[in-house]
Structure 1
Amino acid sequence: MSTIIDETCLDNMQSLLGDQFIDTLEFCLSEFERLESEVRMTIDSDLEAATRNAHSLKSNAAQFGAMSLSDVAREIEMALLANEVDKAKAQVDKLTEQVVASKAKLQQWLTSSV
C-alpha cells in the first residue's frame, strides 16, 4: 500500500494554525505513534479502547493529510465496530507501516516547506 499525503490539508492547517503549526504537527506525529501503539496493545483485551484509539488516529491523520494512514485506521475502527476482530487485527501491521511511512513523508514535507 502506498503512503498518501494530501498537501492541501497541510497547507490549510498551516494557514489555520500559523505560528502554532510546526509544534502542532510535531505533536500530531508523536500522537500517531502513541495511538498506533495503543491500538496494538488493546486490540486483544479492550475492544472499546482499541476502537476509540483507531478513531482518534483516523481523525488526526486526516486533519494533517495522512490519508492512507487515516484509511487503515478507519478500516480497523469499522471492523471493530462490526465485531470483526480478526479482520481488524489483520490490519494492525499495515497500520504500523503507515504510521512510519506517513511520519517520514510529513517530516520531509515539513523540512522542505519551512
Structure 2
Amino acid sequence: MTTITIDESALEGMESLLGDQFADTLTFCCSEFQRLGSEVLANLGSDNEAAARHAHSLKSNAAQFGAMSLSALAQEIELTLNQGDVATAQEKSQTLDEQVSGSVEKLQVWLAGR
C-alpha cells in the first residue's frame, strides 16, 4: 500500500498567494501531475533524459502544491535516472500511477472541503 502525504500548510500558502485563482490552478496542477507522471512512465527506458526532465517538473509542481509523497517519489526517480541507474528508477516508478492518483484524490477532497 502506498502512503500519500499532503502538506496542508503548503496548500494554504498557495491559496493565500493565488486567491480566487487557487481552485482553477490546483485543478490544472492535478491534471499536470497526471500528464507528467504518464510522460515519466512513457519515456522510462527509451528516453531517460526526457523521463528525468518530466520527473523533475513533477517533483517541483507536487512540492509547490503540498503533494509531498509524490514529490519525494519523483525526486527519487529523477536522481536515479541522472545517476544512470535505470533499473532502480523503473523499480521506483512502479508506484508512480498510484501516487499520482492518490495525491490528486486527496487534493480534490481537500479543495472540496474549503
Q: Shared topology, TM-score over 0.5? A: yes
Aligned position for 1:94: 95
TM-score computed with the length of structure 2 as normaliser: 0.97
How many pairs does the alignment contain?
113
Q: For residues 68 and 88 of structure 1, what CA distance do their matches in structure 2 show?
A: 16
Shift of 1:92: 1.2
Aligned position for 1:21: 22
How big is each residue's C-alpha offset from its partner over 1:75-107, in whole Å with a ceiling of 9 and x where there is no partner? 000000100000000011211111010001000
Shift of 1:44: 1.6
Moved over 2 A (4+): none
Aligned position for 1:62: 63
The answer as to 2:6 corresponding to 1:5 is: yes
Aligned position for 1:103: 104
Q: Which runs of 5+ in 2 are unaligned?
A: none
One-letter code of the match for 1:92?
S
Q: For residues 80 and 42 of structure 2, what CA distance do their matches in structure 1 show?
A: 17
Aligned position for 2:33: 32
Q: Report % sequence identity.
A: 58
TM-score computed with the length of structure 1 as normaliser: 0.97
Q: CA RMSD in A?
A: 0.6
